[in-house]
Amino acid sequence: MFVFVKEAYRNIVQTGSIIESSPYLARKMMQFIDFEKPLQLVEMGAGKGSITGHLLDKMNPQSKLSGFEMNTVLFEELKKEEDYRFVPIHDDVMNITQYFKAGSLDYIISGLPLANMGGLKKARLLNDCYQLLKPGGCYIQFQYCKTDLALIKRRFEHVHCEFTLLNLPPAFIYYAEK
């Protein structure tokens, strides 16, 4: 936990929070994922793996999870998650289309601090996510305030929003289906 706090202190704009996501938030984000079948999942802003571990615990043996983290210190922690189904990626998520083909992903789970991104960058990222998802695929994002709900609704056909108090700070979770 102290590794994350230290990195947040160094660059709060990049981490988006001073503490890691709670297990309650992780479970809430995963509640609509059908883990029974093999899936191709991507986690954006994986940090040191607070949501990653919960995903791996639920995933089918044939599923694959790729986790993007650009912070070098957090990435070193993320790499400690040893699982044959998990591929940690030390890169900016703005390069996500270099790693996956259009229509190849079932779920994109995001802990990125969208509120800290510029409008054009955010719009491009959401467009890339939309293109990478299979039909019926889902982009799952949490935020501490609903600043980007309208933007997500403009890009995705079906968007559902929930809220959890069981995180510091409490969070909204968007489920956006292609």
What total of structural domains would you count in the chain?
A: 1
- Asked, for residue 54, whether it belongs to a domain, the answer is yes
- Asked, for residue 135, whether it belongs to a domain, the answer is yes
- Asked, for residue 15, whether it belongs to a domain, the answer is no
Looking at residue 166, which CATH number applies to its domain?
3.40.50.150
Instruction: Tell me the C-alpha distance between 174 and 138, whole Å.
Output: 10
- Asked, for residue 144, whether it belongs to a domain, the answer is yes
Length of the chain (residues): 178
Q: Where are the alpha helices (DSSP H) in the chain?
A: 2-10, 12-15, 23-30, 52-58, 72-78, 119-132, 149-155
Instruction: Quick: pLDDT tens for 160-177.
Output: 999 999 998 999 999 999
For 106, the domain range is: 22-177
- Asked, for residue 164, whether it belongs to a domain, the answer is yes
pLDDT confidence of residue 5: 44
- Asked, for residue 89, whether it belongs to a domain, the answer is yes
The verdict on pTM exceeding 0.85 is yes
- Using alpha carbons only, how large is the chain's radius of gyration in Å? 15
pLDDT tier at 8, thresholds 50, 70, 90: very low
Instruction: Tell me the C-alpha distance between 15 and 144, whole Å.
Output: 13
- Asked, for residue 64, whether it belongs to a domain, the answer is yes
